[in-house]
Structure 1
Amino acid sequence: MASVVQRGRLAAFAVEGKRGFGLVSDRGIVDLTGRVAGLRNLKDAVEQGKLADLVEEGARRSPDHPFESVTFLPVMAEGGKIICVGVNYPDRNAEYKDGQAAPAFPSLFPRFAQSFTGHGQPLIRPKASQQLDYEGEIAIVIGKAGRHIVEADALDHIAALTLCNEGTVRDWVRHAKFNVTQGKNFDASGALGPWLVPYEGEAQIADIRLTTAVNGELRQDDRTSRMIFPFRYLIAYISTFTTLLPGDLIVTGTPTGAGARFEPPRFLVPGDVVEVAAEGIGTLINTVADEA
Protein backbone atom coordinates (compact mmCIF):
# COMPACT_ATOMS: atom_id res chain seq x y z
CA MET A 1 0.00 0.00 0.00
CA ALA A 2 2.99 2.34 -0.47
CA SER A 3 1.11 4.23 -3.15
CA VAL A 4 -1.38 5.40 -0.51
CA VAL A 5 1.38 7.28 1.31
CA GLN A 6 2.64 8.89 -1.88
CA ARG A 7 -0.75 10.31 -2.88
CA GLY A 8 -2.53 13.10 -1.07
CA ARG A 9 -5.24 11.95 1.32
CA LEU A 10 -7.88 14.54 2.23
CA ALA A 11 -10.27 13.82 5.07
CA ALA A 12 -13.30 15.38 6.71
CA PHE A 13 -13.25 15.18 10.50
CA ALA A 14 -14.40 16.63 13.80
CA VAL A 15 -12.26 17.60 16.79
CA GLU A 16 -14.11 18.37 20.03
CA GLY A 17 -17.30 18.78 18.04
CA LYS A 18 -15.83 21.22 15.52
CA ARG A 19 -15.96 20.11 11.90
CA GLY A 20 -12.94 20.51 9.66
CA PHE A 21 -10.99 19.06 6.79
CA GLY A 22 -7.35 18.48 6.07
CA LEU A 23 -4.49 16.36 4.86
CA VAL A 24 -3.79 12.95 6.38
CA SER A 25 -0.07 12.51 6.97
CA ASP A 26 1.72 9.53 8.45
CA ARG A 27 1.94 11.36 11.80
CA GLY A 28 -1.52 12.91 12.12
CA ILE A 29 -3.97 15.34 10.55
CA VAL A 30 -2.92 18.66 9.05
CA ASP A 31 -5.92 20.92 9.66
CA LEU A 32 -6.56 23.00 6.52
CA THR A 33 -9.85 24.50 7.67
CA GLY A 34 -9.73 28.21 6.84
CA ARG A 35 -6.20 28.00 5.45
CA VAL A 36 -7.09 28.05 1.74
CA ALA A 37 -9.16 31.03 0.67
CA GLY A 38 -12.76 30.31 -0.28
CA LEU A 39 -12.87 26.70 0.91
CA ARG A 40 -15.35 25.81 3.65
CA ASN A 41 -15.24 22.05 3.11
CA LEU A 42 -14.08 19.36 0.70
CA LYS A 43 -17.06 19.91 -1.57
CA ASP A 44 -15.89 23.49 -2.16
CA ALA A 45 -12.44 22.16 -3.03
CA VAL A 46 -13.96 19.73 -5.53
CA GLU A 47 -16.20 22.38 -7.09
CA GLN A 48 -13.32 24.83 -7.44
CA GLY A 49 -10.79 22.28 -8.63
CA LYS A 50 -8.55 22.90 -5.61
CA LEU A 51 -7.90 19.42 -4.25
CA ALA A 52 -4.30 19.64 -5.47
CA ASP A 53 -3.95 23.04 -3.78
CA LEU A 54 -5.06 21.48 -0.50
CA VAL A 55 -2.55 18.67 -0.83
CA GLU A 56 0.23 21.14 -1.61
CA GLU A 57 -0.70 23.40 1.30
CA GLY A 58 -0.92 20.47 3.70
CA ALA A 59 2.46 19.10 2.62
CA ARG A 60 4.10 22.33 3.82
CA ARG A 61 2.68 22.03 7.32
CA SER A 62 3.11 19.83 10.35
CA PRO A 63 0.16 17.85 11.75
CA ASP A 64 -2.22 19.72 14.04
CA HIS A 65 -4.14 16.74 15.45
CA PRO A 66 -3.02 13.23 16.44
CA PHE A 67 -5.20 10.50 14.97
CA GLU A 68 -6.64 9.57 18.35
CA SER A 69 -8.16 13.05 18.81
CA VAL A 70 -10.01 13.02 15.49
CA THR A 71 -13.43 11.63 14.58
CA PHE A 72 -13.52 10.89 10.86
CA LEU A 73 -16.68 12.04 9.08
CA PRO A 74 -18.09 10.59 5.87
CA VAL A 75 -16.32 12.30 2.98
CA MET A 76 -18.42 14.55 0.76
CA ALA A 77 -21.22 14.70 3.34
CA GLU A 78 -22.07 18.10 1.85
CA GLY A 79 -22.12 16.62 -1.64
CA GLY A 80 -24.99 16.22 -4.05
CA LYS A 81 -26.40 13.06 -5.57
CA ILE A 82 -25.22 9.63 -4.43
CA ILE A 83 -25.91 7.11 -7.19
CA CYS A 84 -25.10 3.45 -6.53
CA VAL A 85 -24.55 0.67 -9.04
CA GLY A 86 -25.75 -2.88 -8.47
CA VAL A 87 -24.37 -6.15 -9.90
CA ASN A 88 -21.23 -4.79 -11.57
CA TYR A 89 -18.81 -7.72 -11.28
CA PRO A 90 -19.18 -10.96 -13.28
CA ASP A 91 -19.14 -13.31 -10.29
CA ARG A 92 -21.69 -11.09 -8.55
CA ASN A 93 -24.08 -11.62 -11.46
CA ALA A 94 -23.54 -15.40 -11.25
CA GLU A 95 -24.11 -15.20 -7.49
CA TYR A 96 -27.83 -14.65 -8.10
CA LYS A 97 -28.07 -18.17 -9.61
CA ASP A 98 -30.90 -17.13 -11.93
CA GLY A 99 -29.17 -18.35 -15.09
CA GLN A 100 -29.32 -14.92 -16.68
CA ALA A 101 -26.53 -13.34 -18.69
CA ALA A 102 -24.89 -10.15 -17.54
CA PRO A 103 -27.36 -7.25 -17.73
CA ALA A 104 -27.33 -4.94 -20.75
CA PHE A 105 -27.62 -1.83 -18.59
CA PRO A 106 -26.58 -1.07 -14.99
CA SER A 107 -28.97 -1.28 -12.07
CA LEU A 108 -28.99 2.06 -10.25
CA PHE A 109 -30.43 3.35 -6.99
CA PRO A 110 -29.96 6.42 -4.79
CA ARG A 111 -28.53 6.68 -1.29
CA PHE A 112 -28.93 9.62 1.06
CA ALA A 113 -26.03 11.24 2.87
CA GLN A 114 -27.41 10.42 6.33
CA SER A 115 -27.25 6.71 5.53
CA PHE A 116 -23.45 6.92 5.84
CA THR A 117 -21.05 7.27 8.72
CA GLY A 118 -17.29 7.85 8.74
CA HIS A 119 -14.16 5.75 9.02
CA GLY A 120 -13.71 4.26 12.48
CA GLN A 121 -17.38 4.72 13.40
CA PRO A 122 -19.91 1.91 13.87
CA LEU A 123 -22.31 0.78 11.21
CA ILE A 124 -25.72 0.75 12.85
CA ARG A 125 -27.83 -2.40 12.71
CA PRO A 126 -31.39 -1.02 12.83
CA LYS A 127 -34.15 -2.02 15.22
CA ALA A 128 -36.24 -3.04 12.23
CA SER A 129 -33.98 -5.88 11.07
CA GLN A 130 -31.06 -8.14 11.95
CA GLN A 131 -30.05 -8.56 8.30
CA LEU A 132 -27.38 -5.86 8.02
CA ASP A 133 -24.89 -6.81 5.31
CA TYR A 134 -21.62 -5.37 3.96
CA GLU A 135 -20.70 -4.38 0.40
CA GLY A 136 -17.20 -3.03 -0.27
CA GLU A 137 -17.07 -0.60 -3.20
CA ILE A 138 -15.02 2.10 -4.87
CA ALA A 139 -16.72 5.48 -5.24
CA ILE A 140 -15.80 8.18 -7.71
CA VAL A 141 -16.33 11.85 -6.96
CA ILE A 142 -17.44 14.02 -9.85
CA GLY A 143 -15.38 17.17 -10.29
CA LYS A 144 -16.72 18.69 -13.50
CA ALA A 145 -20.37 19.10 -14.44
CA GLY A 146 -21.72 17.39 -17.51
CA ARG A 147 -24.75 16.08 -19.35
CA HIS A 148 -24.63 13.60 -22.24
CA ILE A 149 -20.95 13.00 -21.55
CA VAL A 150 -19.32 10.76 -24.15
CA GLU A 151 -17.22 7.85 -22.90
CA ALA A 152 -14.06 9.24 -24.47
CA ASP A 153 -14.30 12.30 -22.21
CA ALA A 154 -15.86 10.67 -19.15
CA LEU A 155 -12.76 10.30 -16.98
CA ASP A 156 -12.08 14.04 -17.29
CA HIS A 157 -15.09 14.51 -15.00
CA ILE A 158 -13.56 12.62 -12.04
CA ALA A 159 -12.07 14.67 -9.19
CA ALA A 160 -11.25 12.00 -6.61
CA LEU A 161 -11.72 8.47 -5.36
CA THR A 162 -12.89 7.11 -2.05
CA LEU A 163 -14.25 3.88 -0.56
CA CYS A 164 -17.73 2.86 0.44
CA ASN A 165 -19.15 0.14 2.63
CA GLU A 166 -22.55 0.14 1.00
CA GLY A 167 -24.25 -1.46 3.98
CA THR A 168 -27.56 -3.10 3.09
CA VAL A 169 -30.53 -4.25 5.15
CA ARG A 170 -31.36 -7.33 3.10
CA ASP A 171 -34.97 -8.05 4.00
CA TRP A 172 -35.90 -4.42 3.41
CA VAL A 173 -34.53 -4.43 -0.15
CA ARG A 174 -37.26 -7.00 -0.89
CA HIS A 175 -40.17 -4.93 0.39
CA ALA A 176 -41.05 -3.48 -2.99
CA LYS A 177 -41.38 -4.96 -6.47
CA PHE A 178 -39.21 -2.55 -8.43
CA ASN A 179 -36.77 -0.85 -6.07
CA VAL A 180 -34.29 -1.43 -3.25
CA THR A 181 -34.20 2.10 -1.86
CA GLN A 182 -35.60 1.27 1.59
CA GLY A 183 -32.98 -1.35 2.40
CA LYS A 184 -30.18 0.89 1.21
CA ASN A 185 -30.92 3.97 3.28
CA PHE A 186 -31.17 3.15 6.97
CA ASP A 187 -29.34 5.82 8.97
CA ALA A 188 -25.60 5.11 9.40
CA SER A 189 -25.93 1.67 7.84
CA GLY A 190 -23.01 2.34 5.48
CA ALA A 191 -19.74 4.25 5.48
CA LEU A 192 -17.77 6.57 3.18
CA GLY A 193 -14.06 7.21 3.54
CA PRO A 194 -11.58 7.10 5.05
CA TRP A 195 -10.52 10.01 2.83
CA LEU A 196 -10.45 11.38 -0.71
CA VAL A 197 -7.56 10.55 -3.01
CA PRO A 198 -7.31 13.04 -5.90
CA TYR A 199 -7.72 11.46 -9.32
CA GLU A 200 -4.52 11.40 -11.37
CA GLY A 201 -5.37 9.47 -14.51
CA GLU A 202 -6.79 6.26 -15.94
CA ALA A 203 -3.86 4.09 -14.87
CA GLN A 204 -4.83 4.85 -11.26
CA ILE A 205 -8.24 3.17 -11.62
CA ALA A 206 -7.80 0.64 -14.43
CA ASP A 207 -7.00 -2.41 -12.30
CA ILE A 208 -7.53 -1.68 -8.60
CA ARG A 209 -7.76 -4.66 -6.27
CA LEU A 210 -10.80 -4.26 -4.01
CA THR A 211 -11.28 -6.43 -0.92
CA THR A 212 -13.60 -6.70 2.07
CA ALA A 213 -12.71 -8.56 5.27
CA VAL A 214 -14.95 -9.26 8.27
CA ASN A 215 -13.13 -9.90 11.54
CA GLY A 216 -9.97 -10.53 9.52
CA GLU A 217 -11.61 -13.09 7.19
CA LEU A 218 -11.41 -12.18 3.50
CA ARG A 219 -14.94 -12.18 2.09
CA GLN A 220 -14.74 -10.12 -1.12
CA ASP A 221 -11.83 -9.88 -3.58
CA ASP A 222 -11.93 -8.60 -7.16
CA ARG A 223 -10.40 -6.03 -9.51
CA THR A 224 -11.88 -3.02 -11.31
CA SER A 225 -10.56 -4.34 -14.63
CA ARG A 226 -13.32 -6.97 -14.40
CA MET A 227 -16.25 -4.61 -13.89
CA ILE A 228 -19.17 -5.25 -16.24
CA PHE A 229 -19.76 -1.51 -16.58
CA PRO A 230 -16.43 0.38 -16.43
CA PHE A 231 -15.99 3.85 -14.98
CA ARG A 232 -16.19 5.53 -18.38
CA TYR A 233 -19.46 3.81 -19.23
CA LEU A 234 -21.08 4.58 -15.88
CA ILE A 235 -20.35 8.29 -16.14
CA ALA A 236 -21.62 8.46 -19.71
CA TYR A 237 -24.74 6.40 -19.02
CA ILE A 238 -25.75 8.24 -15.85
CA SER A 239 -25.17 11.65 -17.44
CA THR A 240 -27.67 10.73 -20.15
CA PHE A 241 -30.60 11.10 -17.74
CA THR A 242 -29.23 13.48 -15.08
CA THR A 243 -26.69 16.28 -15.09
CA LEU A 244 -23.68 15.21 -13.06
CA LEU A 245 -22.45 18.01 -10.79
CA PRO A 246 -19.26 18.55 -8.79
CA GLY A 247 -19.56 16.67 -5.51
CA ASP A 248 -21.84 13.96 -6.86
CA LEU A 249 -20.79 10.40 -5.99
CA ILE A 250 -21.04 7.27 -8.10
CA VAL A 251 -20.65 4.12 -5.98
CA THR A 252 -19.52 1.61 -8.56
CA GLY A 253 -20.58 -1.85 -7.36
CA THR A 254 -19.44 -4.65 -5.08
CA PRO A 255 -17.74 -8.00 -5.79
CA THR A 256 -19.16 -11.38 -4.92
CA GLY A 257 -19.03 -12.52 -1.28
CA ALA A 258 -21.60 -10.43 0.59
CA GLY A 259 -22.98 -12.09 3.70
CA ALA A 260 -26.42 -12.77 2.19
CA ARG A 261 -24.88 -15.14 -0.37
CA PHE A 262 -23.49 -17.63 2.15
CA GLU A 263 -25.43 -20.75 3.18
CA PRO A 264 -26.62 -19.93 5.76
CA PRO A 265 -26.33 -16.13 5.41
CA ARG A 266 -23.65 -14.42 7.50
CA PHE A 267 -25.08 -11.04 8.44
CA LEU A 268 -23.20 -8.50 10.54
CA VAL A 269 -23.61 -8.51 14.31
CA PRO A 270 -22.53 -6.03 16.98
CA GLY A 271 -18.81 -6.19 17.59
CA ASP A 272 -17.89 -7.20 14.04
CA VAL A 273 -15.10 -5.28 12.31
CA VAL A 274 -15.42 -4.69 8.58
CA GLU A 275 -12.45 -3.55 6.46
CA VAL A 276 -12.87 -2.38 2.87
CA ALA A 277 -9.48 -1.92 1.18
CA ALA A 278 -8.38 -0.80 -2.26
CA GLU A 279 -4.91 -0.40 -3.73
CA GLY A 280 -3.88 3.23 -3.94
CA ILE A 281 -6.84 4.47 -1.91
CA GLY A 282 -6.65 3.02 1.61
CA THR A 283 -8.69 0.99 4.08
CA LEU A 284 -12.13 1.93 5.39
CA ILE A 285 -12.68 0.32 8.81
CA ASN A 286 -15.95 0.17 10.72
CA THR A 287 -17.32 -1.73 13.68
CA VAL A 288 -20.97 -2.72 14.07
CA ALA A 289 -23.41 -1.66 16.78
CA ASP A 290 -27.14 -1.96 17.39
CA GLU A 291 -29.40 1.08 17.05
CA ALA A 292 -29.92 2.68 20.44
Structure 2
Amino acid sequence: MSRPRFASFTTGKRQGYGLIVGDGVIDLSARFGARYPTLGEVVKANAFNELVEAVADHQPDFPVSDIAYEIPIPAPEKIICVGVNFPDRNEEYKDGQAAPSNPSLFIRFPRSFTGHDRPLIRPRESHQLDYEGEIVIVIGKGGRRIPETEALSHIAALTLSNEGTLRDWVRHAKFNVTQGKNFDASGSIGPWLVPFTDESQIADIKLETRVNGEVRQSDRTSRMIFSFRKIINYISTFTTLVPGDVIVCGTPTGAGARFDPPIWLKPGDVVEVEADGIGTLRNTIADEVI
Protein backbone atom coordinates (compact mmCIF):
# COMPACT_ATOMS: atom_id res chain seq x y z
CA MET A 1 0.00 0.00 0.00
CA SER A 2 1.35 3.43 -0.92
CA ARG A 3 1.85 5.95 1.84
CA PRO A 4 -0.49 8.96 2.03
CA ARG A 5 0.73 12.17 0.41
CA PHE A 6 -0.26 15.57 1.84
CA ALA A 7 0.28 18.62 -0.36
CA SER A 8 -0.09 22.36 0.10
CA PHE A 9 -1.49 24.13 -2.95
CA THR A 10 -3.09 27.15 -4.51
CA THR A 11 -6.22 26.75 -6.60
CA GLY A 12 -7.71 29.86 -8.09
CA LYS A 13 -7.17 32.54 -5.46
CA ARG A 14 -7.39 30.15 -2.52
CA GLN A 15 -4.57 28.44 -0.66
CA GLY A 16 -5.22 25.07 0.89
CA TYR A 17 -3.94 21.57 1.46
CA GLY A 18 -5.15 18.13 0.59
CA LEU A 19 -4.54 14.45 0.15
CA ILE A 20 -3.19 13.43 -3.26
CA VAL A 21 -5.02 10.33 -4.47
CA GLY A 22 -3.93 9.18 -7.91
CA ASP A 23 -4.46 12.13 -10.23
CA GLY A 24 -6.88 13.84 -7.87
CA VAL A 25 -6.95 15.91 -4.70
CA ILE A 26 -9.19 15.44 -1.68
CA ASP A 27 -9.49 18.97 -0.33
CA LEU A 28 -8.73 18.63 3.38
CA SER A 29 -8.54 22.36 4.03
CA ALA A 30 -12.17 22.75 2.95
CA ARG A 31 -13.17 20.20 5.59
CA PHE A 32 -10.69 20.77 8.41
CA GLY A 33 -9.35 24.29 7.81
CA ALA A 34 -11.02 25.74 10.89
CA ARG A 35 -9.16 23.26 13.10
CA TYR A 36 -5.97 22.95 11.05
CA PRO A 37 -5.49 26.06 8.89
CA THR A 38 -2.35 24.68 7.16
CA LEU A 39 -0.25 21.53 7.07
CA GLY A 40 1.85 23.16 9.76
CA GLU A 41 -1.00 22.74 12.23
CA VAL A 42 -1.63 19.18 11.00
CA VAL A 43 2.01 18.37 11.79
CA LYS A 44 1.84 20.05 15.19
CA ALA A 45 -1.27 18.05 16.12
CA ASN A 46 0.09 14.79 14.67
CA ALA A 47 -3.21 14.57 12.79
CA PHE A 48 -2.17 12.75 9.62
CA ASN A 49 -3.94 9.51 10.54
CA GLU A 50 -7.03 11.37 11.71
CA LEU A 51 -7.42 13.10 8.36
CA VAL A 52 -6.73 9.97 6.30
CA GLU A 53 -9.36 8.04 8.23
CA ALA A 54 -11.89 10.87 7.99
CA VAL A 55 -11.83 10.89 4.17
CA ALA A 56 -11.23 7.19 3.59
CA ASP A 57 -14.45 6.86 1.56
CA HIS A 58 -14.20 10.18 -0.28
CA GLN A 59 -13.51 10.72 -3.95
CA PRO A 60 -11.16 13.50 -5.13
CA ASP A 61 -12.69 16.97 -5.25
CA PHE A 62 -10.69 18.08 -8.28
CA PRO A 63 -7.80 16.92 -10.46
CA VAL A 64 -4.17 17.61 -9.63
CA SER A 65 -4.02 19.65 -12.85
CA ASP A 66 -6.22 22.28 -11.11
CA ILE A 67 -3.65 23.09 -8.42
CA ALA A 68 -0.31 24.84 -8.18
CA TYR A 69 1.92 23.17 -5.60
CA GLU A 70 3.31 25.26 -2.75
CA ILE A 71 6.08 24.31 -0.34
CA PRO A 72 4.43 21.84 2.07
CA ILE A 73 4.97 23.79 5.32
CA PRO A 74 4.09 27.37 4.39
CA ALA A 75 5.77 29.23 7.27
CA PRO A 76 8.23 27.07 9.18
CA GLU A 77 10.01 28.69 12.09
CA LYS A 78 13.31 27.29 10.86
CA ILE A 79 14.75 25.82 7.67
CA ILE A 80 18.16 24.38 8.52
CA CYS A 81 20.34 22.85 5.81
CA VAL A 82 23.19 20.37 6.18
CA GLY A 83 26.24 20.72 3.95
CA VAL A 84 28.82 18.09 2.92
CA ASN A 85 26.96 15.02 4.16
CA PHE A 86 28.07 12.31 1.71
CA PRO A 87 31.63 10.90 1.58
CA ASP A 88 32.27 11.80 -2.06
CA ARG A 89 31.07 15.36 -1.42
CA ASN A 90 33.81 15.81 1.16
CA GLU A 91 36.38 14.52 -1.34
CA GLU A 92 35.10 16.97 -3.97
CA TYR A 93 36.68 19.84 -2.04
CA LYS A 94 40.17 18.37 -2.63
CA ASP A 95 41.54 20.04 0.48
CA GLY A 96 43.02 16.88 1.94
CA GLN A 97 40.88 17.11 5.04
CA ALA A 98 39.00 14.22 6.56
CA ALA A 99 35.25 14.41 6.93
CA PRO A 100 34.39 16.80 9.77
CA SER A 101 33.25 15.46 13.12
CA ASN A 102 30.19 17.72 13.16
CA PRO A 103 27.81 18.76 10.37
CA SER A 104 28.14 22.05 8.51
CA LEU A 105 24.88 24.01 8.79
CA PHE A 106 23.28 27.06 7.24
CA ILE A 107 19.87 28.70 7.23
CA ARG A 108 17.47 29.30 4.34
CA PHE A 109 14.36 31.45 4.26
CA PRO A 110 10.97 30.10 3.12
CA ARG A 111 10.86 32.64 0.28
CA SER A 112 13.98 31.06 -1.24
CA PHE A 113 11.95 27.94 -2.06
CA THR A 114 9.13 27.29 -4.48
CA GLY A 115 6.85 24.28 -4.98
CA HIS A 116 6.79 21.23 -7.21
CA ASP A 117 6.26 21.79 -10.95
CA ARG A 118 7.15 25.48 -10.64
CA PRO A 119 10.25 27.08 -12.14
CA LEU A 120 13.39 27.74 -10.19
CA ILE A 121 14.30 31.35 -10.85
CA ARG A 122 17.72 32.27 -12.19
CA PRO A 123 18.33 35.84 -10.94
CA ARG A 124 19.80 38.61 -13.03
CA GLU A 125 22.82 38.83 -10.68
CA SER A 126 24.19 35.38 -11.58
CA HIS A 127 23.90 32.60 -14.15
CA GLN A 128 25.66 30.09 -11.88
CA LEU A 129 22.46 28.42 -10.70
CA ASP A 130 23.17 24.86 -9.57
CA TYR A 131 21.10 21.92 -8.28
CA GLU A 132 21.37 19.87 -5.09
CA GLY A 133 18.92 17.01 -4.57
CA GLU A 134 18.24 16.30 -0.89
CA ILE A 135 15.94 14.48 1.50
CA VAL A 136 14.03 16.66 3.94
CA ILE A 137 12.75 15.79 7.39
CA VAL A 138 9.96 17.76 9.06
CA ILE A 139 9.93 17.89 12.84
CA GLY A 140 6.71 16.78 14.50
CA LYS A 141 7.66 16.71 18.17
CA GLY A 142 9.80 19.53 19.44
CA GLY A 143 12.64 19.33 21.88
CA ARG A 144 16.05 20.46 23.06
CA ARG A 145 19.13 18.25 23.44
CA ILE A 146 17.33 15.30 21.89
CA PRO A 147 19.29 12.04 22.36
CA GLU A 148 20.17 10.14 19.18
CA THR A 149 18.29 7.13 20.54
CA GLU A 150 15.05 9.17 20.58
CA ALA A 151 15.67 11.38 17.55
CA LEU A 152 13.57 9.56 14.96
CA SER A 153 10.47 9.82 17.16
CA HIS A 154 10.65 13.59 16.59
CA ILE A 155 10.17 13.27 12.80
CA ALA A 156 6.64 13.87 11.50
CA ALA A 157 7.14 13.60 7.75
CA LEU A 158 9.52 13.39 4.81
CA THR A 159 9.76 15.38 1.63
CA LEU A 160 12.39 16.42 -0.95
CA SER A 161 14.36 19.50 -1.86
CA ASN A 162 16.28 20.84 -4.81
CA GLU A 163 18.48 23.07 -2.72
CA GLY A 164 19.34 25.40 -5.60
CA THR A 165 22.48 27.45 -5.15
CA LEU A 166 24.06 30.47 -6.85
CA ARG A 167 27.65 29.27 -6.74
CA ASP A 168 29.50 32.55 -7.17
CA TRP A 169 27.38 34.16 -4.46
CA VAL A 170 28.33 31.50 -1.88
CA ARG A 171 31.93 32.71 -2.28
CA HIS A 172 31.33 36.42 -1.68
CA ALA A 173 32.67 36.17 1.86
CA LYS A 174 35.13 34.02 3.72
CA PHE A 175 33.06 31.85 6.03
CA ASN A 176 29.41 31.91 4.97
CA VAL A 177 27.14 30.75 2.15
CA THR A 178 23.95 32.59 3.13
CA GLN A 179 23.85 34.91 0.12
CA GLY A 180 24.09 32.21 -2.53
CA LYS A 181 21.51 30.04 -0.79
CA ASN A 182 18.68 32.55 -0.41
CA PHE A 183 17.77 34.12 -3.74
CA ASP A 184 13.99 34.12 -4.10
CA ALA A 185 12.59 30.87 -5.56
CA SER A 186 16.09 29.54 -6.31
CA GLY A 187 15.27 26.18 -4.70
CA SER A 188 12.24 23.96 -4.21
CA ILE A 189 10.63 21.73 -1.59
CA GLY A 190 7.97 19.11 -2.23
CA PRO A 191 5.95 17.77 -3.86
CA TRP A 192 4.22 16.68 -0.64
CA LEU A 193 4.67 15.38 2.88
CA VAL A 194 4.85 11.62 3.40
CA PRO A 195 4.14 10.79 7.06
CA PHE A 196 7.08 9.18 8.83
CA THR A 197 6.39 5.83 10.47
CA ASP A 198 9.65 3.97 11.00
CA GLU A 199 13.37 3.96 10.28
CA SER A 200 13.02 1.70 7.23
CA GLN A 201 11.67 4.71 5.29
CA ILE A 202 15.04 6.47 5.42
CA ALA A 203 17.72 4.01 6.58
CA ASP A 204 18.94 2.95 3.14
CA ILE A 205 17.01 4.57 0.31
CA LYS A 206 18.18 5.78 -3.06
CA LEU A 207 18.38 9.53 -3.72
CA GLU A 208 18.78 10.61 -7.35
CA THR A 209 18.89 13.90 -9.24
CA ARG A 210 18.35 14.12 -12.99
CA VAL A 211 18.78 17.08 -15.32
CA ASN A 212 16.90 16.75 -18.61
CA GLY A 213 16.69 13.00 -17.93
CA GLU A 214 20.44 12.57 -17.33
CA VAL A 215 21.39 11.18 -13.91
CA ARG A 216 23.74 13.67 -12.23
CA GLN A 217 23.53 12.62 -8.58
CA SER A 218 22.87 9.16 -7.14
CA ASP A 219 23.59 7.80 -3.68
CA ARG A 220 21.98 6.11 -0.69
CA THR A 221 21.11 7.46 2.74
CA SER A 222 23.04 4.63 4.41
CA ARG A 223 26.20 6.41 3.20
CA MET A 224 25.46 9.75 4.81
CA ILE A 225 28.30 11.00 7.00
CA PHE A 226 25.82 12.28 9.58
CA SER A 227 22.76 10.14 10.14
CA PHE A 228 19.28 11.55 10.56
CA ARG A 229 19.60 10.72 14.26
CA LYS A 230 22.87 12.64 14.56
CA ILE A 231 21.52 15.65 12.66
CA ILE A 232 18.53 16.01 14.99
CA ASN A 233 20.66 15.45 18.08
CA TYR A 234 23.29 17.99 17.01
CA ILE A 235 20.91 20.75 15.91
CA SER A 236 18.74 20.41 19.02
CA THR A 237 21.82 20.94 21.17
CA PHE A 238 21.98 24.63 20.32
CA THR A 239 18.38 25.43 19.30
CA THR A 240 14.99 24.18 20.38
CA LEU A 241 13.35 22.29 17.54
CA VAL A 242 9.62 22.94 17.17
CA PRO A 243 6.88 21.21 15.14
CA GLY A 244 7.08 22.21 11.49
CA ASP A 245 10.81 22.91 11.48
CA VAL A 246 12.37 21.77 8.21
CA ILE A 247 15.80 20.12 8.01
CA VAL A 248 17.39 19.64 4.57
CA CYS A 249 19.83 16.77 5.02
CA GLY A 250 22.59 17.07 2.42
CA THR A 251 23.28 16.28 -1.23
CA PRO A 252 25.38 13.60 -2.99
CA THR A 253 28.27 14.32 -5.31
CA GLY A 254 27.57 15.40 -8.90
CA ALA A 255 26.39 19.00 -8.76
CA GLY A 256 26.98 21.09 -11.85
CA ALA A 257 29.82 23.03 -10.22
CA ARG A 258 31.93 19.87 -10.12
CA PHE A 259 32.04 19.38 -13.88
CA ASP A 260 34.96 20.71 -15.93
CA PRO A 261 33.84 23.12 -17.15
CA PRO A 262 30.89 23.63 -14.76
CA ILE A 263 27.41 22.97 -16.13
CA TRP A 264 24.97 25.59 -14.83
CA LEU A 265 21.20 25.33 -15.04
CA LYS A 266 19.61 27.37 -17.80
CA PRO A 267 16.06 28.31 -18.78
CA GLY A 268 14.17 25.33 -20.16
CA ASP A 269 16.09 22.72 -18.16
CA VAL A 270 14.08 20.19 -16.15
CA VAL A 271 15.46 18.99 -12.82
CA GLU A 272 14.01 15.97 -11.03
CA VAL A 273 14.89 14.86 -7.50
CA GLU A 274 13.62 11.38 -6.64
CA ALA A 275 13.84 9.23 -3.51
CA ASP A 276 12.46 5.78 -2.79
CA GLY A 277 9.12 5.93 -1.02
CA ILE A 278 8.88 9.71 -1.10
CA GLY A 279 8.33 10.62 -4.75
CA THR A 280 9.74 12.93 -7.41
CA LEU A 281 10.19 16.69 -7.11
CA ARG A 282 10.26 18.30 -10.56
CA ASN A 283 11.10 21.87 -11.54
CA THR A 284 11.94 23.77 -14.69
CA ILE A 285 14.30 26.75 -14.84
CA ALA A 286 13.31 30.29 -15.81
CA ASP A 287 14.98 33.68 -15.82
CA GLU A 288 13.76 36.28 -13.36
CA VAL A 289 11.27 38.65 -14.91
CA ILE A 290 12.27 42.19 -14.03
TM-score, structure 1 normalization: 0.97
Give the gaps of 5 or more residues in structure 1.
Answer: none
The number of residue pairs the alignment matches comes to 288
Return the match for 1:47 from 20, 36, 44: 44
1:11 to 2:7 alignment: yes
Q: Which residue in the other structure is 1:254 paired with?
A: 251
Offset of residue 102 of structure 1: 0.7
User: Does the residue aligned with 1:33 lie in a helix, a strand or coil?
Assistant: helix
1:233 to 2:239 alignment: no
Offset of residue 149 of structure 1: 0.5
Offset of residue 27 of structure 1: 2.9
Structure 1: how far apart are the matches of 2:56 and 2:69? Answer: 20
Structure 1: how far apart are the matches of 2:212 and 2:36? Answer: 38
Return the match for 1:280 from 261, 274, 277: 277
User: Does the residue aligned with 2:262 lie in a helix, a strand or coil?
Assistant: coil
Check whether the contact 1:22–1:54 (CA below 8 A) recurs between aligned residues. no
Alpha-carbon deviations, 1:10-45, whole Å to 9, x = none? 000011121010000113111111413611110000
Return the match for 1:122 from 111, 119, 134: 119
Offset of residue 100 of structure 1: 1.1
Q: Cα RMSD between the aligned structures?
A: 0.9
Structure 2: how far apart are the matches of 1:283 and 1:59? Answer: 24
Offset of residue 96 of structure 1: 1.1
Structure 2: how far apart are the matches of 1:200 and 1:109? Answer: 27
Give the gaps of 5 or more residues in structure 2.
Answer: none
Alpha-carbon deviations, 1:89-125, whole Å to 9, x = none? 0011111111111111100000000000000000000
Offset of residue 204 of structure 1: 1.0
Structure 2: how far apart are the matches of 1:30 and 1:289? Answer: 30
Taking only the aligned residue pairs, the percentage that are identical comes to 64
Check whether the contact 1:144–1:159 (CA below 8 A) recurs between aligned residues. yes
Structure 1: how far apart are the matches of 2:10 and 2:46? Answer: 23
Equivalent AA in structure 2 for residue 23 of structure 1? L
User: Does the residue aligned with 1:47 lie in a helix, a strand or coil?
Assistant: helix
Structure 1: how far apart are the matches of 2:178 and 2:102? Answer: 18
Q: Which runs of 4+ in 1 moved over 4 A?
A: none
Q: Which residue in the other structure is 1:171 paired with?
A: 168
Equivalent AA in structure 2 for residue 214 of structure 1? V
Equivalent AA in structure 2 for residue 279 of structure 1? D
Check whether the contact 2:135–2:159 (CA below 8 A) recurs between aligned residues. yes
User: Does the residue aligned with 1:35 lie in a helix, a strand or coil?
Assistant: helix
